Amino acid sequence: ITDKINALPDGANYFSLEFFPPKTAMGFANLQSRLERMSQALRPLFVTVTWGAGGSTATKSLELAEICQRQLGLTTCLHLTCTNMDRALVDEALEQAKVLGIRNILALRGDAPRSEEYRDDNKLPEQDSNKDFTWAIDLVRYIRKQYGDYFCVGVAAYPEGHSDESHPEHQNPSYDIPHLVEKTQAGADFIMTQLFYDVEKYDRFERMLREHESGAFKTIPIIPGLMPIQSYSILRRTTKLSHANLPADLLARLDAVKADDDMVKKVGVKILSEMVEHIKARPDVAKRGFHFYTLNLEKAVSHILEDTHLIGLIPVDDDDAIETTPAINLEPPN
Ligand code: FAD
């Protein structure tokens, strides 16, 4: 990923798309067609594939990553969590990623076990044999130790602070920053953020990082994470879960149309496009990227990319072989 970013000319913009592995074979078939369409029509710099906390989607995540990397020839980044799952699974996932030709890992802690899963003595449950990993930094260090520079490693950051129900007092970006400095110094190559809708908060966060006294964030790519608005209820749920602030003016625009799903989507595209333009206008970054949490849906992100002129900026790589049949519209998207 960072090689591809570095190869872009100054002033270029790029974007990436996140997908999660569907539960069923039919879901996989539908997503594969959608991925073919989206990758050819939109040309993301890279795609990412999520990893279920505790390794719950390990097989399916690797299956989807294989489709993206091998069959569709997309530069693929596999998310990988490291806590609350068997240590062998971390090794297996990294080895399998290497076999598939995947060169990018988003190294995450994953969510901690629920409090009732802790033993009385407050230690991790017995089945968590993975005592070497407590924080994402442990995984970053581990990947560097085991694989040197083979993988390009990304880490997560939280423009509004990491939301941890058990320590709500820590939800403050300045609490996270020393840990983010450590993750970066341990060998992270890029930073990808949690979703947000408050661009002022994002601006402050990015400025805080760029100007940080450690110098750790002077040049590292910081990719803002954006979630297109698919419906009023999904928006309210995801912002609640991630503790993302919905600025009053945005909420008022959506409240005014909340009974009409199509209008919510339209207003949502407008809002996201404005956010992209706002961030693009910041003069301080030579190459500006955007990461979209697609929820495996196609329309909203396509409209946003079209409205903000982000489509097709990435040259087609001759090595990007498409081995599958051409895209056919199998189902009404979204
Ligand atoms: P860490 O970097 O370990 O940080 C977690 C918290 O602990 C932060 O508040 C940090 O400040 C604090 N901390 C870090 N180190 C220390 C220390 N040494 N001492 C004390 N406190 C410390 N989850 C999934 O399960 N699957 C996914 O695919 C997935 N993808 C994601 C993609 C992105 C872009 C983002 C932003 C999040 C994603 N998550 C995913 C969620 C993530 O796993 C959770 O938010 C998790 O709770 C924290 O992960 P982290 O990697 O940020 O952890």
Ligand 1 neighbourhood includes 111 CB (under 6 angstroms): yes
Q: Which of 194, 174, 185, 173 is nearest to 220 (CA)?
A: 185
Protein residue whose Cα sits closest to atom 6 of ligand 1: 162
Label residue 122 left, alpha or beta by phi (over 0 means left) and psi (-120 to 50 means alpha): left
Cα separation, 237 vs 216, in Å, equals 34
Q: Which string of b and e fits 8-47 if b means at least 16 CB within 10 Å? A: beeeebbbbbbbbbbeeeeeeebbbbbbbbbbeebbbbbb
pLDDT at 149 over 60: yes
Most ligand 1 atoms within 8 A of CB, residue of 109, 153, 165, 170 to mutate: 109
Compute CA 137 distance to the chain's CA centroid, rounded to the nearest angstrom. Answer: 17
Output the pLDDT for position 112: 61
Phi, psi of 16 (to 5 degrees): -130, 160
Cα separation, 218 vs 220, in Å, equals 6
**ipTM value for the complex:** 0.99
Read off the pTM. Answer: 0.91
Ligand 1 neighbourhood includes 79 CB (under 6 angstroms): yes
- What is the set of active-site residues? 18
Ligand 1 neighbourhood includes 50 CB (under 6 angstroms): yes
Output the pLDDT for position 332: 38
Measured in Å, residue 65 CA sits from the centre of ligand 1 at 21
Alpha helix positions (H), the chain: 2-7, 25-42, 58-66, 87-99, 136-147, 173-185, 199-210, 232-242, 248-255, 261-280, 299-307
Cα separation, 123 vs 20, in Å, equals 31
Cα separation, 124 vs 118, in Å, equals 5
For 76-119, the pLDDT digits (tens) are 999 999 998 888 999 999 999 999 999 999 999 998 655 444 43
Is 312 or 260 the better-scoring residue by pLDDT?
Answer: 260
Sorting pLDDT into bands at 50, 70 and 90, what band is 315?
low
pLDDT at 122 over 60: no
Q: Which of 135, 73, 81 is nearest to 105 (CA)?
A: 81
107: β partners? 80, 155
Highest mean pLDDT among 163-167, 172-176, 240-244, 266-270: 266-270
Within 13 A of 134's CA, how many CA atoms are on the CB side? 3
Measured in Å, residue 267 CA sits from the centre of ligand 1 at 31
